[in-house]
Amino acid sequence: MTSVQKITKRQFITFEGIDGSGKSTQAKRLVAHLTSLGHDVIHTREPGGSAGAEEIRRLLVEGDPDRWSAETEILLFTAARRDHLEKTIIPALAAGKWVVSDRFADSTRVYQGATRGDLRGIVDALHAQMIGVEPDMTFIIDMDPVAALSRGLARKSGEDRFEDFGLDFQERLRQGFLDLAKDYPDRCRLIDGSRGIDAVSADITAVFE
């Protein structure tokens, strides 16, 4: 993975936060803003972001909440991320493009911590072995899970497997993301997502004026 690490000193930006907090909305806004500044930007997402990883996404986000064991789930997420990295992220960064990803490795760290905290060591070990890349900047959109959940479930996308874990789970996720912002203060920026779309977007785009 050394070759991968060498070429990532570019603009790799990720959005993280609980379900329905506005990640996809804000990622889209930021891509439009960066494009308007003249940058070549790709907008991608996890799980998914490459043909193979999108196939794995369906296995992860659809179906019963207890469909996979925690261990199997970590392996599926890591497999999807590796394909996303190889096929989409690294080639784009190597070509001088900016990459805006809706979720990345932080989601696995936090979701795993919220379900089976004792497996966090495996998450970190797999990340070091198979991914080995951190974003240059991560926006963590923070808000009350009750308000966020009502936004998310209202969409009825058929991809509600994680939302179906319930409110307690979302509360643990929120705390997990807040802890993560403290663990990685250099790259993480905490954003208050409870406000209107324009107000949230203004905070984010202001970083790239």
Ligand X SMILES: Nc1ncnc2c1ncn2[C@@H]1O[C@H](COP(=O)(O)OP(=O)(O)OP(=O)(O)O)[C@@H](O)[C@H]1O
| Site size with ligand X, rule: CB under 6 A | 14
Stretch that binds Mg ion, among 19-27, 60-68, 137-145, 168-176 (CB under 5 A): 19-27
Ramachandran sector of residue 156 (left: φ over 0; alpha: ψ -120 to 50; beta: rest): left
Nearer to ligand X, 8 or 170 (CB): 170
Stretch that binds Mg ion, among 16-24, 53-61, 73-81, 157-165 (CB under 5 A): 16-24
Task: Tell me the closest approach of the beta carbon of residue 114 to ligand X, in angstroms.
Answer: 14
Does 158 contact ligand X by CB under 6 A?
no
Stretch that binds ligand X, among 49-57, 75-83, 107-115, 149-157 (CB under 6 A): 149-157
Which residue pairs, CB below 8 angstroms and at least 24 apart, start in 161-167?
Answer: 161/60, 161/61, 161/62, 161/63, 161/64, 161/65, 161/67, 162/19, 162/61, 162/65, 162/111, 163/19, 163/20, 164/65, 165/65, 165/115
Distance CA 45, CA 38 (A): 22
Task: Indicate which single residue of 4, 10, 24, 189 sits in contact with ligand X (rule: CB under 6 A).
Answer: 24
Nearer to Mg ion, 23 or 82 (CB): 23
Does 19 contact ligand X by CB under 6 A?
yes
Nearer to Mg ion, 23 or 57 (CB): 23
Residue whose C-alpha is closest to residue 90's, from 162, 57, 42: 42
Task: Tell me the closest approach of the beta carbon of residue 46 to ligand X, in angstroms.
Answer: 10
| 3-state SS, residue 112 | helix
Site of interaction with ligand X (CB under 6 A): 17, 19-25, 151-152, 155, 196-197, 200
